[in-house]
Amino acid sequence: MKKLIMSIVLVLAAATMVNAEKQEVVLFINSMECGNCQAKVEKTLAYEKGVKDLQFDLQKRQVTITFDNEKTSVEKLQNALVKNNKYASEVVKQGCAKSCKSEAGGCSKSCKKEAKATPKCCSGH
């Protein structure tokens, strides 16, 4: 009976670890406007511990990051972007994927603050 209970506990623990390790976040980076910016962001994030995959959408200024949440966090990834490239980022929430310059008009308060705090793109546009 002890072996059965121990086996169940080990299986549940392994299943929990598999689910806990992989996480995905989409970051909006207001100042990522060109291929050079994308390359800088990619280089920075690729070397962060726990990053598994990066998918870019330059037109939306977004990067989808798949990472191991046992090794890093969204905050650590955002801090790496600010520290290495001065790129502030905002987590895109579900159903809120519009960029700061949306056709619907107006920026969110947090996006306005980010735009002021973030320097222009490396190519000056």
**pLDDT for the residue 15:** 59
**pLDDT for the residue 53:** 93
Q: Does residue 76 sit within a domain?
A: yes
77-111: pLDDT as tens digits: 999 999 988 888 888 832 222 333 343 333 444 44
Q: Does residue 62 sit within a domain?
A: yes
CATH of the domain at 82: 3.30.70.100
**pLDDT for the residue 71:** 92
Q: Is the pTM of the predicted complex or chain greater than 0.75?
A: no
The CA distance from 80 to 106, in Å, is 28
Structurally, the chain folds into a number of domains equal to 1
C-beta of residue 87 within 8 angstroms of C-beta of residue 41 = yes
Q: Does residue 73 sit within a domain?
A: yes
Strand partners, 23: 67
**pLDDT for the residue 92:** 83
The CA distance from 51 to 4, in Å, is 36
The CA distance from 57 to 10, in Å, is 40
**pLDDT for the residue 8:** 73
Report residue 121 CA to chain centroid gap.
19
Which parts of the chain register pLDDT below 70? Answer: 2, 4, 6-7, 9-21, 93-125
Q: Does residue 7 sit within a domain?
A: no
